[in-house]
A and B are shown apart, each in its own frame.
Chain A
Amino acid sequence: MIERGGVEVRLENLVRRYGTVTALDGLSLTMAPGELVALLGPSGCGKTTALRLLAGLEEADGGRVVIGGDDVTGLPANKRNIGMVFQAYSLFPHMVAWENVAFGLQMRRVPTEQRKKRALDMLELVGLGRFANRYANQMSGGQQQRVALARALAIQPQVLLLDEPLSALDAKVRSRLRDEIRRVQLEVGITTLFVTHDQEEALAIADRVGVMQSGKLEQLGPPTLVYSRPATPFVADFVGLTNRMEGNVRSGAVEVRGTSIPLVHPDVPDGPAIALIRPEAVSIAGGDGDAAEGPLVGTVLTVAFLGAVSRVTVDLGDTTVLAQLPTSAASEHPAGSKVRLTLRPDPVLIQREEAATTGS
């Protein structure tokens, strides 16, 4: 098995303000040795600020950064032992790939022969051994980011920081490089913080996902838990697609169009609410033949083919609902056909404020 050799990283109550705007509002996060944590959130939620504070590229207005038991809060970036891959292409244009990778070692006064050897080893690790003598502008975006990863790891850092390293790449390269990053991270066993606004990326790569909003951590947990048991409506909304359907709460369950669905947090007063229902919890029970009338009978508007699954939009008269089905099942219901939906009774979250506003 892979041995994990990283160190523990603790962000304690970090605060960062820009003028009157609070970018980080008391963020606390502990990363276990060798763990990959992905911070996920919309732009401006503070995830990049958190990463920059950890890197030492910005100073905190409050709180502490502890790496491997050492308080590094006051240390400048070049004194922290941290490897970082940036969103923008950051290879030094006047150096070839191996010189880029060897730069950090040069700063650490490693003899030339030794650092060249190590640089070539690192390039080999990211699968670019043949590209050692290429300049940045002779490589594709994906190759450049892989060299940047090799460069960040060459100095044997205690922590690896990835600041949206894939966002400038096209979809195919992105998913391949994402898996590559995970493979290398596991191989090296380094504690890693990965910042992204792409939920698919975060869910695919991370040991734990932290969803952030307005400088705060809304939820931190394994990807499956964050997806299936979102702690707040914001998380439910941000991670994965969500149907918002009006319903009525009655004794720990919400009744949506005649179907009773249990609540994640049952201790709420009765009354109208909006239920947040995943598209994969919606299925199509029958086609034209048996569909007569009913609260969950509607017309298929569109069918979006996504490969193995398809996403069907159904018009229920006063609202539209997304259903995600295996493509084979979806193909039986072309646009225009009448269908009856069923809602799987997986526990759901509800949202109250909006129900009140719609009600009034």
Chain B
Amino acid sequence: MAVAGRSIQRTRRLKLQVFRYVVFAAAAVFFLIPLYAMFEFSTRGNTGNRTLEYWQSIPQYPDLTAAIIASLELALITSLAMLVLLVPTMVWTRLKLRRLSRVLEFVCLLPLTIPAIVLVVGLVPIYLWLGTNVSDNILTLAFAYVVLVLPYCYRSLDAGLGAIDVKTLSEAARSLGASWFDVMWRIIVPNISNAILNATLLSVALVLGEYTIANVLLYNNLQVELVHLGRDNAGVSIAVAAASLMFAFALLVGITFFGSRSRRVRAEPEGITGLGTGAVMGSAG
């Protein structure tokens, strides 16, 4: 009996293993083929030889470098603003305004249902006013981007907060003499660090890939510049596109590694509370 049971178990484990590799291979092909095509195209010389000419000429386009820097700055500002806005609000709703959590969820998910182009129509007058009265700096795009990333970041943070008992933990901390700032910084944030990393990754990826809003509002971010460049010099455009994809990819791997390492430090037999990585990745796709 026991032997038969063990062999069934072994077969099942083997099947699962095979299934995993098949899924992994399919996903890898799905992502790698376009990436390979981009590499192939951006390193194809006029005479059919391999050349890094396009890659090397990236820094020679000042508009492009400016756009890259602007997009990276926007990604940073958007992520920070999103976290500062969302984390305390979500914690506070969980603690004190339970009734409003539905409303908050609705508001945060709303941008998902509004096509970017429709969003822009609403944003144009605001940016006209901003441009004349405050600043026409490209970094003002961060306002629009924070709205844009809300749904994804909300979902990610919600999964993270759902995995811990926010109310009991913060009440315990309060009774031990912690101020609200200490509760947030020393108790909540360390326990949802994975969710925060995921939310950050999502907003970085979204901002680096954003085209519609920047284009209609006449700002030159990375994607807008890539399109301009594509008309001018397709090779360089594709090289930059591949580079930005690789950057996002490296970021993702880095964050996953960081997350799994911090989890391994707390290795334990029963498994730590999942911080919703799966849910986040699901909603990102």
Give the most central of A57, A103, A108, A161: most B CB within 10 Å: A103
CA distance A56 to B165 in the complex (A): 19
Chain B residues with Cβ below 8 Å from A22 are: none
**Which residue of A55, A57, A78, A86 is within 8 Å of B177 (Cβ)?**
A78
A172 contacts across to B, CB distance below 8 A = none
User: Which listed residue (A89, A135, A151) contacts B266, Cβ 8 A?
Assistant: A135
| C-alpha gap A56/B266 in the complex (Å) | 33
Say how far B91's CB is from chain A's closest CB, in angstroms: 15
Of the stretches A90-98, A207-215, A325-333, the one at the interface is A90-98
CB-CB contacts below 8 Å: A83-130 with B: 83-84, 86, 88-90, 92-94, 103-104, 107-108
Q: Which of A77, A88, A89 contacts B175 (CB 8 A)?
A: A77
A137 contacts chain B at the CB level, 8 A cutoff: yes
B171 proximity list for chain A (CB < 8 A): 57, 77, 84, 86, 90
Residue in B164, B177, B268 whose CB lies within 8 Å of A138: B268
Task: Please tell me which one of the listed residues B178, B190, B268 contacts residue A78 in the complex, with CB atoms under 8 A apart.
Answer: B178
Is the Cβ of B266 less than 8 Å from the Cβ of A88?
A: no
A261 within 8 A of B: no
Is B50 part of the contact surface with A, judged by Cβ < 8 Å? no
The answer to whether A77 and B268 touch (CB under 8 A), given A90-B169, A92-B187, A94-B191, is no
Q: Is A274 an interface residue (CB 8 A)?
A: no
Check if B7 is an interface residue, CB within 8 A of chain A.
no
Given the interface pairs A92-B187, A93-B164, the reply to whether A84 lies near B270 with Cβ below 8 Å is no
A86 touches B178 (CB 8 A): no
Expressed in whole angstroms, the Cα–Cα distance for A82 and B269 within the complex equals 34
- Partner of B176 from the list A94, A103, A135 (CB cut-off 8 Å) is A103
Contact A155 B164 (CB under 8 A): no
Cβ of B11 under 8 Å from chain A = no
Pick from B164, B168, B177, B271: contact of A104, CB below 8 A.
Answer: B177
* Residue B217 lies at the interface, judged by CB distance under 8 Å to chain A: no
When chains A and B are docked, how far (Å) is the Cα of A104 from the Cα of B187?
Answer: 12
Residues of chain B within 8 A (CB-CB) of A90 are: 165, 168-169, 171-172
Residues B172 and A137 in contact, CB atoms below 8 Å apart: no
A49 to B212, CA, bound (A): 53
Sort chain B's interface into a size bin. 20 to 34
Query: Which A residues are in CB contact (< 8 Å) with B164?
Result: 93
Q: Which residue of B lies closest to A86 (CB)?
A: B168
Within 8 A of B (CB), among A44-101: 55-57, 76-79, 82-84, 86, 88-90, 92-94
| Least distance between B94 CB and chain A CB atoms (Å) | 14
The chain A residue with its CB closest to the CB of B165 is A88
A26, B179: Cα distance in complex, Å: 30
> Which residues on B sit within 8 Å (CB–CB) of A86?
168, 171-172
Cβ contact within 8 Å between A55 and B175: yes
A56 CA to B270 CA, complexed, in Å = 35
* Cβ-defined contact, B168 with A88, below 8 A: yes
Task: Select which of B182, B266, B273 is within 8 A of A107 by beta carbon.
Answer: B182
A-B contact count (CB 8 A): 76
Query: Are B175 and A78 within 8 A (Cβ)?
Result: yes
Which residues of the partner chain A approach B13 to less than 8 Å between Cβ atoms? none
Return the chain A residue nearest B192 by Cβ: A94
Contacts of B174 in A (CB 8 A): 56-57, 76-78
B165 to A92, Cβ gap below 8 A?
no
Chain B residue numbers with a CB within 8 Å of A92 are 169, 172-173, 187, 191
The answer to whether the Cβ of B80 comes within 8 Å of any Cβ in the partner chain is no
State the CA gap A82–B175 with chains docked (Å): 6
Q: Which of B177, B178, B190 contacts A94 (CB 8 A)?
A: B190
B271: nearest residue on chain A (CB-CB)? A137
B272 at the binding interface (Cβ < 8 Å):
yes
Query: Is the beta-carbon distance between A78 and B169 smaller than 8 angstroms?
Result: no
Given the complex, which residues of B lie within 8 Å of A151, measured CB to CB? 172, 176
- By a CB distance below 8 angstroms, the chain A residues around B270 are 137
Bound complex: CA of A261 vs CA of B124, how far in Å?
88
Tell me, in angstroms, the Cα distance from A6 to B85 when the chains sit together.
44
Across the two chains, which residue of chain A brings its CB closest to B177? Answer: A107
Residues in B with CB closer than 8 Å to A84 are 171-172, 175
CB distance from B232 to the nearest CB of A (A): 51
Q: Which of B268-283 contact A (CB under 8 A)?
A: 268-273
How far apart sit A155 and B187, CA to CA, in the bound complex (Å)? 18
Residues of B within 8 A of A76 (CB): 174
Across the interface, which residues of B come within 8 angstroms of A103, CB to CB?
A: 173, 176, 178, 186
In the complex, which residues 25-75 of chain B have their Cβ closer than 8 Å to any Cβ of chain A?
none
Mask for B160-198, Cβ within 8 A of A = 1, else 0?
000011001101111111110010001100110000000
Q: Which of A56, A88, A93, A152 contacts B273 (CB 8 A)?
A: A93
Residues of A contacting B269 with CB < 8 Å? 138
Nearest Cβ in chain B — how far from A228, in angstroms? 36
Inter-chain contact A108/B177, CB cutoff 8 Å: yes
Cα separation A137 to B163 with both chains bound (whole Å) = 14
Question: What CA separation (Å) do A78 and B269 show in the bound complex?
Answer: 35
What are 5 A-to-B residue pairs whose CB atoms are below 8 Å? A57-B174, A82-B175, A93-B273, A94-B190, A107-B182
Given contacts A57-B171, A104-B176, A107-B176, 13 further A-B contacts (CB under 8 A): A55-B175, A77-B175, A78-B175, A78-B177, A84-B175, A86-B171, A90-B165, A90-B172, A92-B172, A103-B173, A108-B177, A137-B270, A138-B269
Report which A residues bind B (CB closer than 8 A).
55-57, 76-79, 82-84, 86, 88-90, 92-94, 103-104, 107-108, 135, 137-138, 148, 151-152, 155, 161
